[in-house]
Amino acid sequence: MFSLAVLVSGSGSNLQSIIDAIASGYLNAKISIVIADRECYALERAEKSGINTLLLKRSIYKDELSSAILEAVGNVDLIVLCGYLSILQGNIIKKYNHKIINIHPALLPNFGGKGMYGIKVHEAVLAAGEKISGPTVHYVDEKTDHGPIIKQKSVPVLPGDTPKVLQERVLTCEHEILVEVIKELSEKAKDTFDKEN
């Protein structure tokens, strides 16, 4: 079965959308492990669903964090970053080339990069007077919010939107697009496997 490692730092609503999509049968996949870089509600969500969890604190692992994650994930089919706030580097990027995806709450390449996370993204979108925003799912490379884009969806920016209101609207869309991409990637991997065997 298509196996996932999910990396989290926050509330874990995207993680929950994956858990729910598996439970409903929409996704034919298994979450092998959820890894957090800090104490967060996402870990509780995983534990409640009986998923194996691991806390690898950035504050303790520092430069060794990526190697510790690489060791902990073992061999999975896909690593999914859902609101994960540490930067992956080194061997994990090489071994999992095109097998690590991230969800970002704006239409990359705009409103991404270092320091562009959480509510700051939506503040920047509103400050720029954008009429459209929306989530991006992309492959992860060594640079922040930089790898090839897999899928984006548009969400309107409405008159009177506050950053919080816009964040909620985009987040709802994130939950849809993330499981769609994981489904597409798992089906592609199955096709490749079937052709080769």
105 binds ligand GRF (CB under 6 A): yes
- Which residue in the set 10, 112, 134, 147 belongs to the binding site for ligand GRF (CB under 6 A)? 10
13 binds ligand GRF (CB under 6 A): yes
104 binds ligand GRF (CB under 6 A): yes
The rounded distance, in Å, linking the Cα atoms of 21 and 38 is: 25
Question: Among residues 144 and 189, whose Cβ is nearest to ligand GRF?
Answer: 144
The rounded distance, in Å, linking the Cα atoms of 129 and 194 is: 48
Count of beta carbons in the 10 Å neighbourhood of residue 38: 16
Q: Decide: helix, strand or coil at residue 65.
A: helix
The rounded distance, in Å, linking the Cα atoms of 69 and 180 is: 25
Supply the minimum distance, in Å, between the C-beta of residue 191 and ligand GRF: 28
First to last CA, the chain: 15
Supply the minimum distance, in Å, between the C-beta of residue 192 and ligand GRF: 28
Query: Catalytic positions, please?
Result: 104
144 binds ligand GRF (CB under 6 A): no
The rounded distance, in Å, linking the Cα atoms of 75 and 175 is: 25
- Which residue in the set 37, 77, 145, 174 belongs to the binding site for ligand GRF (CB under 6 A)? 174
Bridge-partner residues for 137, per DSSP?
Answer: 103, 151
Question: Among residues 21 and 171, whose Cβ is nearest to ligand GRF?
Answer: 171
Binding residues for ligand GRF (CB under 6 A): 10-14, 42, 82-83, 103-105, 171, 174
